[in-house]
Structure 1
């Protein structure tokens, strides 16, 4: 688990006020350990994604929630498709064909 300071060191170009604003908006969802916020690698990846969307693709603050929601749905759909493909593969490889 990574604290706020660790996030700021690992995610170049991200400031603490900005990170806290993203948490308030629900764009980044760290866990709480007592009074402290703790982040996982997936949270760091999300911070990098938000920075990339904002800086390279020029997604503004008003559009960011929509873009993030669509990306979340896309990733969820990909996970479901992967699970379906794995289930089909197992069924195909089953000795009785089920």
Structure 2
């Protein structure tokens, strides 16, 4: 489901159309574009909800919002990359997985590290 600007403002009653447009202009929210204007998907709505909470509930100022969003984007990107590595590891033969597990254990100083 994709929403238009006015529909987003209706969903988030604390958000004005002007604010939404500013957030898009600043790159905090990156909706897809259609012939009739921006369309906001579920990921955009979650990000809008986060920005609303940061600003309203946590009193985060406009200078800090993009920093927080960038850090979260990096975190989610790393999690996605790690999932891909684990998936690729699980596709390897047992001896390769065991060697890698041993190597990871030695480097981290932990014992019993094993991919699922």
TM-score range, shorter chain: 0.7 to 0.9
Structure 1 moving runs of 4+ over 4 Å: none
2:109 corresponding residue in structure 1: none
Q: Which runs of 5+ in 1 are unaligned?
A: none
Report the TM-score when normalising by structure 2: 0.74
Deviation at 1:97, TM superposition (A): 6.2
Query: Which of structures 1 and 2 has the bigger CA Rg?
Result: 2
2:91 corresponding residue in structure 1: 90
Report the TM-score when normalising by structure 1: 0.86
Aligned length: 96
Deviation at 1:87, TM superposition (A): 1.2
2:59 corresponding residue in structure 1: 58
1:39 corresponding residue in structure 2: 40
Backbone CA RMSD of aligned residues: 1.9
2:77 corresponding residue in structure 1: 76
| CA distance in 1 between partners of 2:33 and 2:9 (Å) | 17
Deviation at 1:35, TM superposition (A): 3.8
Report the secondary structure of 2:92's partner residue.
Answer: helix
